[in-house]
Chains A and B, each alone.
Chain A
């Protein structure tokens, strides 16, 4: 038995090593992989357009991730890789649209709407304010006070 223990231990270690060996290709180069994921998170998969390039199982996405990996290994900067993708697939591939003449409406449209809404709100409040100022009676006349009291008395009676 005593002789068996080291043997068993060796066996356990050997299988552990074998597992580790199997997992190795996945994280062949962790730095490259991390950068690839960071870059492809910023990109849209063109086949299934609501998924990011990093999360998509489409074959084109796999090819493009392979391409990005190769570019990282070739020493390209993130900007160069982004340019490579935009040259081929257009700005649509980016989740963050660039600021340029065709996208001004996209970038400033919401602020424009907000400004319009604010102007409309201010105008409405001003109009409402002035209407209240003009039309609001300051106090009840004697006849009105009497009528109000009569009404209140009626309510009291019913109770």
Chain B
């Protein structure tokens, strides 16, 4: 009997690793962002709706705010959008958009059709700003603190669960400091 103990133990360890890989909510596509804890990269882009006006993260100094990367061609954004629209109706935290690699008319039509949760969206047509933010799977959402430091990055759609459990508590905590 005793000689089976070691193989059994090894098997249980192996099972543990396999179970870890199948953990619900575990997405191997999600990578830890090296940008967390670093200053949000600066940019100065024209706004989607008013090309003559610009949006720059520097103007948000002293406020906790959210930056949501979206595009009209992005399927998961459609899933996420109603959550953001609902959130923007009640939330006190400013939500800005980064319209990533989109065509201006498409982006505008999308907002007209599904509602506009953003105070404004910056228009990143060639995706250059997206590269600076390490965007690799739209939608992505950044929580940026008063000092302009990225505190959290949500890869993939923001769900009600993510909002309630992660983003809202974090924003409240950051607003206190």
Contact = CB atoms under 8 A, between A and B. Distances in A.
Interface of A: 46-47, 49, 59-60, 63-64, 67, 86-92
Contact of A90 (B32, B127, B133, B135): B32
B29 A89 contact: no
Given A63-B131, A64-B131, A67-B131, A90 B136 contact: no
Task: Report whether over half of chain A's contact residues are helix, strand or loop; otherwise say mixed.
Answer: helix
Contacts of B33: 90
Given A59-B101, A63-B127, A63-B131, A86 B136 contact: no
A87 B131 contact: no
B40 to A, nearest CB: 13
B34 A88 contact: yes
B137 A47 contact: yes
B134 interface: yes
B101 A88 contact: no
B175 interface: no
Interface of B: 28-29, 31-35, 101, 126-128, 131-137
Contacts of B128: 67
A92 to B, nearest CB: 5
A90 B131 contact: no
A67 B132 CA distance: 11
Contacts of A89: 31, 34, 134, 136
B31 A90 contact: yes
25 contacts: A46-B137, A47-B137, A49-B28, A59-B101, A59-B127, A60-B127, A63-B126, A63-B127, A63-B131, A64-B131, A67-B131, A87-B34, A88-B34, A88-B131, A88-B133, A88-B134, A89-B34, A89-B134, A89-B136, A90-B32, A90-B33, A90-B34, A90-B134, A91-B34, A92-B31
B82 to A, nearest CB: 25
Contacts of A87: 34
A63 B28 CA distance: 23
A44 to B, nearest CB: 10
A59 B136 CA distance: 10
Contacts of A47: 136-137
B137 to A, nearest CB: 7
A60 B31 contact: no
A138 B128 CA distance: 82
Given A63-B131, A64-B131, A46 B34 contact: no
